[in-house]
A and B are shown apart, each in its own frame.
Chain A
Amino acid sequence: MLIFTLKRLGLAVLVTLTVSLLSFSLLFMSGDPASAIAGENANATDIEAIRVLYGFDRPFMVQYVDWLTGALAGDFGQSYYFKLPVSTLIADRLSTTMLLGVCGISFALVTAIPLGVLAAMRPNSLIDRGALFLSVMGQAMPSFWFGLVLIVIFSIQLGWLPPSGSSSWKHFIMPTIVLGYYAMPAIMRLTRAGMLEVLNADYIRTARAKGASETRVMFKHALRNAVVPVVSLAAVQMGFMLGGSIVVESIFALHGAGYLAWESISRNDLPTVQALILIFSCFYIVFTFLSDLANAWLDPRIRVG
């Protein structure tokens, strides 16, 4: 297990370095950064002055190493637009996004896994059909529309929940449901498919032959084997929620990191974009690493050679 962990960790570090190089080169892929900062009406002397000021005249690798050492210490430079340190800017926004992401994925897992198990226990039953209907709805409804429907019902008509902002836990209920419901269908269907496959396995019959109860057969013997691919999927979706919850964040006016990314891209605020890309990628990498560990714990064939 230790060797397995170290190997995965090494891999994670390598991927992180690669991603950092790519996200840094973005700066130069989108044209000359100096003229972008200077604006459309700047003359050649101004652009040259800016180039020297920001250090764009130095060799690429020097700039990269400089940026990376800063980044490792938590210094991503100055935002062009907000005129604030990028790290302050992101730290402020990230907590909202993380909270939303954790709530969203928890909501998705807590609803999807039991529903998937129930659906697999009685294929083609009313429960199975109902779960299928729910998941098709979740897959088909655009988040922005579902979010607006919730706002109309629960904020405007019933007046139970605040429509926007992030000052109390109540503000997070609707965004959590919208974000979680989007991730739920895939997890539910994968749980169901995995359970159906596992329930046909010989070892399930063995468990029944021992006199184990149905609950025990389902949860101890079947689910543990069926849930392995679900863990990997949930990790990817978690990463996606942290980086891609822009739509949900905009609807409910939660000023999170996703929203910040969208703002920075539209304003050509490259240091912020670079930092966000690196951070979002790190999330993916960390979650993949954690899901590898979780799967190794669940399935001894991964951990014991």
Chain B
Amino acid sequence: MTTEPILKVENLTIDVPMAQGTLHAVRGIDFELRRGETLCIVGESGSGKSLTSLALMGLLPKKMRCKAAGLDFSGIDLQRQTPKAMRALRGDRMAMIFQEPMTSLNPAYTIGDQLMEALLLHRPVSKAEARARAIELLGKVGITAAESRLGQYPHQLSGGLRQRVMIAMALMCEPELIIADEPTTALDVTIQAQILRLLADLQREMNMAMILVTHDLGVVARIADKVVVMYAGEVVENGSAREIFENPRHPYTRGLLRCIPVPGKTKPGEHLGSIPGIVPSLIGKVEGCAFRSRCEVAEDACSSPVPVRRPGTDHAYRCIHDIPEGASA
């Protein structure tokens, strides 16, 4: 692709001061994203993927400290923006969808009020125009009888419908970047697939850049262009979706892929993989590979700084071993 990236993240770190010391929640994240691309950030709970997305939106809690060598959104240095300038971007050019549709809508206001709010805040439109746009988007996210829904309150809608409303709400100003933080985790399995397909379709239709945070590799396989695999606050492997799924290198990525059943390949009754052990504490100085306590190929050298290896232009992983393609980890 030749277009300029819309989002460039270089060496992003997030520190959380705690009573027991500083928690190094995110350590040195890099990635780039262009319009029309979908980037999936994959990792287990506590790997720092949600914090990374909140940091991009400038929504981290005040006590957390966020630093980056570069945090660039379509030519704007996000680190140098005043709170007011960040507010002007949020909800307008960059928008976010959250994990919990049940609690992410304000119970005191109608769906219509909440949909129209972002547009009225950012654009010089009349209420009637905002209303028309809200109806249009509710239709787009597959909500029937959109007009009558505007007067309803969140508690009158199911979880799936609420998440559709959240998606419509994020799209009101046609953002260039949309960040979806585990948008399907809280939903029924049957609804999950619908919501994902909807997100993917809208992303293509509106030519947005999308960051999808998830711990579900099945989801990633279906819609990602690029994948970032995070473990304990670090990117352990990133690359194009094709590379990650066909030639995973890092032992953690390989472990994750063994945990999902493959239709036609996994036999009934066969054991799926699992990764033993737990995520290490990130409080205090973190040295070497964070995955080494759970890694099958770990050795003493893993506690020293880990090099980044690049088996291809669109593939990188962080391991002291030069792991050949296809070799079992």
Q: Knowing A205-B98, A300-B153, A301-B153 are in contact, say whether A211-B122 is a contact too (CB < 8 A).
A: yes
Q: Knowing A213-B87, A301-B153 are in contact, say whether A206-B104 is a contact too (CB < 8 A).
A: yes
Tell me whether B89 is interfacial, beta carbon within 8 Å.
yes
Residue of A202, A209, A301 touching B90 (CB-CB under 8 A): A209
Tell me whether B107 is interfacial, beta carbon within 8 Å.
yes
Tell me whether A304 is interfacial, beta carbon within 8 Å.
yes
Q: Knowing A203-B106, A300-B107 are in contact, say whether A208-B90 is a contact too (CB < 8 A).
A: yes
Number of chain A interface residues as a range? 20 to 34
Q: How far is the CA of A300 from the CA of B89 in the complex (A)?
A: 31
Chain A residue at smallest Cβ distance from B179: A209
A residues within 8 A CB of B225?
Answer: none
Q: How far is the CA of A212 from the CA of B87 in the complex (A)?
A: 7
Residue of B57, B103, B108, B156 touching A209 (CB-CB under 8 A): B57
In B98-113, which residues have CB < 8 Å from any A CB?
98, 100, 103-108, 110
Tell me whether A148 is interfacial, beta carbon within 8 Å.
no
- B98 A202 Cβ-Cβ under 8 A: yes
B residues within 8 A CB of A224?
Answer: 108
**Total residue contacts A-B, CB cutoff 8 A:** 71
B residues within 8 A CB of A83?
Answer: none
- Give B29-71 as 1s and 0s: 1 = Cβ < 8 Å from A's Cβ atoms: 0000000000000000000000000000101000000000000
Q: Knowing A211-B92, A304-B153 are in contact, say whether A298-B117 is a contact too (CB < 8 A).
A: no
Residue of A206, A211, A301 touching B88 (CB-CB under 8 A): A211
Total number of B residues with any Cβ neighbor in A under 8 Å: 29
- B169 A301 Cβ-Cβ under 8 A: no
- A211 B107 Cβ-Cβ under 8 A: no
- A209 B106 Cβ-Cβ under 8 A: no
- B87 A211 Cβ-Cβ under 8 A: yes
- A299 B91 Cβ-Cβ under 8 A: no
Residue of A206, A225, A300 touching B98 (CB-CB under 8 A): A206
Q: How far is the CA of A208 from the CA of B96 in the complex (A)?
A: 10
Tell me whether A84 is interfacial, beta carbon within 8 Å.
no
Tell me whether B262 is interfacial, beta carbon within 8 Å.
no
A residues within 8 A CB of B170?
Answer: 209
In A206-222, which residues have CB < 8 Å from any B CB?
206-213, 221
Tell me whether A137 is interfacial, beta carbon within 8 Å.
no
Chain A residue at smallest Cβ distance from B113: A220
- B107 A205 Cβ-Cβ under 8 A: no
Q: Knowing A202-B104, A299-B108, A301-B107 are in contact, say whether A209-B91 is a contact too (CB < 8 A).
A: yes
Residue of A205, A208, A300 touching B108 (CB-CB under 8 A): A300
Chain A residue at smallest Cβ distance from B83: A214
Residue of B105, B107, B117 touching A212 (CB-CB under 8 A): B117
- B153 A211 Cβ-Cβ under 8 A: no
B residues within 8 A CB of A110?
Answer: none
Q: How far is the CA of A211 from the CA of B117 in the complex (A)?
A: 9
- Give A262-305 as 1s and 0s: 1 = Cβ < 8 Å from B's Cβ atoms: 00000000000000000000000000000000000011110010
- B89 A202 Cβ-Cβ under 8 A: no
Q: How far is the CB of B109 from chain A (nearest CB, A)?
A: 8
Q: Knowing A225-B107, A300-B107 are in contact, say whether A212-B121 is a contact too (CB < 8 A).
A: yes
Q: What would be 29 A-B contacts, judged by CB atoms less than 8 Å apart?
A: A202-B103, A202-B104, A203-B105, A203-B107, A205-B98, A206-B98, A206-B104, A206-B106, A206-B166, A206-B169, A209-B57, A209-B59, A209-B95, A209-B96, A209-B170, A210-B95, A210-B118, A211-B88, A211-B89, A211-B91, A211-B122, A212-B87, A212-B121, A298-B108, A299-B108, A300-B155, A301-B107, A301-B155, A304-B156
A contact residues vs B (CB 8 Å cutoff): 201-203, 205-213, 221, 224-225, 298-301, 304
Given contacts A206-B105, A211-B87, 5 further A-B contacts (CB under 8 A): A205-B59, A210-B169, A221-B106, A224-B108, A225-B106
Please provide the 10 A-B residue pairs with the shortest distance between their CB atoms, ordered closest to farther. Answer: A211-B91, A210-B91, A211-B90, A202-B103, A210-B118, A203-B106, A300-B153, A202-B104, A211-B87, A209-B96
